[in-house]
Structure 1
Amino acid sequence: MNEEELREGLRSEMAGVTPPPPLSTTAALGAARRAHFRRRAVWASLGSAVVVLAVTGFAAVATPDGHVYEPAGRGPLVAPDTKKPWPTGPNGQPQEDRTARAGSKYDQGAHLLSEAVSVVPAGFSAPEDPPSLPAEQRTSRTHQAQFEARVDGVDVWSYSSSVAVTQHAAAGRLIVEVHDAGNPMPTEPCELARAFWGMRGDCQVETVGAARVGVVVRPDGDDRLDQWSAYRHPDGVVVFVAQGVRLDESRPALTKLPFSVPQLAALAVDERFHLK
């Protein structure tokens, strides 16, 4: 067989391949959510792109083009203790993976979601998913608690919540993510803001009382979210608050973001999100 015959044979084989059916929005969101939080286990100090969503489970959120929200960042090198099993659940047995599905950590994630819903501003709504909808298919209100690492014998967790924010037929998203003290994330406000899910962008420092908050006001080539703020409390707890004008491709995007830049900065400092 000569080269031309080989090429022709390959073209014939490719022509007979049936492309896979398009992935549904609901399935994509559910899969992304689960993958996001499972993969958030990798620390920012071990690489620039990871994922939780979180992420978050919550926790994870996908954009209409299939992107998965993936947290990452840089910080001092921390070697987590991986010799011990997953944290013990409320049944006295080790968890099956990083996600808490019951107990006090799970309750913290649920509490964070409740607080996130409470800050949705007037003029916007935060609808709930139908009660009959399976957890993995929910997109309006999600939360997750995830074990990140064991540092110096102490379990370090993160908590994530995602809230659909609607106005008439349009829908956007509010995300709040909290990391326990002991995390390896940066201290400088804009470095910290740019550590959120590995996203970069134009950052400015906002002053809220005595606090200095990093706010990315314009992402750099990343359309997962539109703005986000970051604050490290004196005790080491890190809070990220993010907003986006689009929830998914099934509904039109919001015509404006729910919060102004100063308001977004103030939310990162808000004690309601300072989980301890």
Structure 2
Amino acid sequence: MNEQELREGLRSEMAGTTPPPPLSTTAALGAARRTHFRRRALWASLGSAAVVLAVTGFAAVATPDGHVYQPAGQGPLASPDTKEPWPTGPDGQPQEDRTARAGSKYEQGVHLLTEAVSVVPAGFTAPDDPPGQPAEQRTLRTHQAQFEDKVGGVDVWSYSSSVAVAQGEGTGRVIVEVHAAGNPLPTEPCDLAQQFWSMGGECQVETVGAVRVGVVVRPSRDDRLDQWSAYRHSDGVVVFVAQAARLDESRPGLTKLPYSVPQLAALAADERFHLK
């Protein structure tokens, strides 16, 4: 069989194949949101054939001309026999995964949650989960300390907290996320703000004292949050503060956001969130 006959055979085969049904937009959006927090991507280095590799919801595509397109990630995953162990926990053993469940890093996450609750503005309340509620079932107040990467032999961590904020019948959410020094995030205020959860959005620069803070005042295509601010301290620590009028789909949302744009900007530069 020559090359022309091979091509004709492939065209004939493709013509007889029933195309798959269209992808549900709702299902695709839900899957994308669930995989956002996994933050893993597999780099693909393929030959000339067009191949798609799906790994935890992400895809890498190699085209016939050799270009590789893939979403931003943390770089190549190490092979099982060369991957460094997770950071050591307080028991002297490597963690099970990225999340610290005890020790000083865990306590930093607890501290961040406490500070986030402390800045809930007057006129709003911060409802709590029932006493004794397991961490994985908590929805009103949550916190996490997560190992991100090792840079120059130093572990780089991120910390996050989420606080439900209520007023009247409505419930929204305030999120504070801190990335320790050594992170690869941008420096320019709006580039930094638009990097948060890769959401983009319409950004403006607010001046807080002597510093400049990026604030996304309107999301573009991603409606998980309504507004968020970002600030990089001189030591490299990055702080994001976000607010949303709705906590989840099971509750009515707030009629107004907790913070004005200047207040949201000031919180990002607030020393209470400057974890070291």
CA-to-partner distance for each residue in 1:148-200, whole Å, 9 max, x for gaps?
A: 00011000000000000001221000000000000000000000000000101
1:169 corresponds to which letter in structure 2?
E
Contact residue 41 and residue 98 of structure 1 kept, 8 A? no
- Aligned position for 2:86: 86
Give the match's secondary structure for 1:194.
helix
Shift of 1:87: 0.4
The verdict on how the C-alpha distance between 1:104 and 1:41 changes in structure 2, with shifts beyond 3 A counting, is farther
Q: How does 1:70-219 map to 2 (within 5 A)?
A: 83-219=83-219
Distance 1:41 1:176 in 2: 22
The verdict on how the C-alpha distance between 1:149 and 1:157 changes in structure 2, with shifts beyond 3 A counting, is same
Shift of 1:251: 1.3
Shift of 1:36: 5.5
The verdict on how the C-alpha distance between 1:41 and 1:118 changes in structure 2, with shifts beyond 3 A counting, is farther
The verdict on how the C-alpha distance between 1:235 and 1:178 changes in structure 2, with shifts beyond 3 A counting, is same
CA-to-partner distance for each residue in 1:211-241, whole Å, 9 max, x for gaps?
A: 1000000000211000000000000000000
Distance 2:223 2:180 in 1: 27
Distance 1:80 1:180 in 2: 21
Distance 2:165 2:36 in 1: 21
The verdict on how the C-alpha distance between 1:36 and 1:160 changes in structure 2, with shifts beyond 3 A counting, is farther
Shift of 1:41: 5.8
Give the match's secondary structure for 2:215.
strand
1:92 corresponds to which letter in structure 2?
G
1:249 corresponds to which letter in structure 2?
E
Give the match's secondary structure for 1:195.
helix
Distance 1:188 1:274 in 2: 18
Distance 2:175 2:72 in 1: 17
CA-to-partner distance for each residue in 1:77-115, whole Å, 9 max, x for gaps?
A: 988997421100000000010000000000000000000
- Aligned position for 1:272: 272
Give the match's secondary structure for 2:147.
strand
Which contiguous aligned blocks of 4+ residues in structure 1 show a shift greater than 6 angstroms? Answer: 77-82
**TM-score when scaled to structure 1?**
0.73
CA-to-partner distance for each residue in 1:99-133, whole Å, 9 max, x for gaps?
A: 00000000000000000000000000001001243
**TM-score when scaled to structure 2?**
0.73
Larger CA Rg, structure 1 vs 2: 2
Distance 1:92 1:218 in 2: 45
How many correspondences in the alignment?
A: 218
- Aligned position for 2:11: none
Contact residue 230 and residue 240 of structure 1 kept, 8 A? yes
The alignment's C-alpha RMSD in Å is 2.8
Q: Which runs of 5+ in 1 are unaligned?
A: 1-9, 11-27, 43-49, 52-71
Distance 1:182 1:80 in 2: 19
Structure with the bigger RCO (C-alpha within 8 Å, sep 6+) is 1
The verdict on how the C-alpha distance between 1:266 and 1:167 changes in structure 2, with shifts beyond 3 A counting, is same
Contact residue 79 and residue 151 of structure 1 kept, 8 A? no
- Aligned position for 1:263: 263
The verdict on how the C-alpha distance between 1:150 and 1:208 changes in structure 2, with shifts beyond 3 A counting, is same
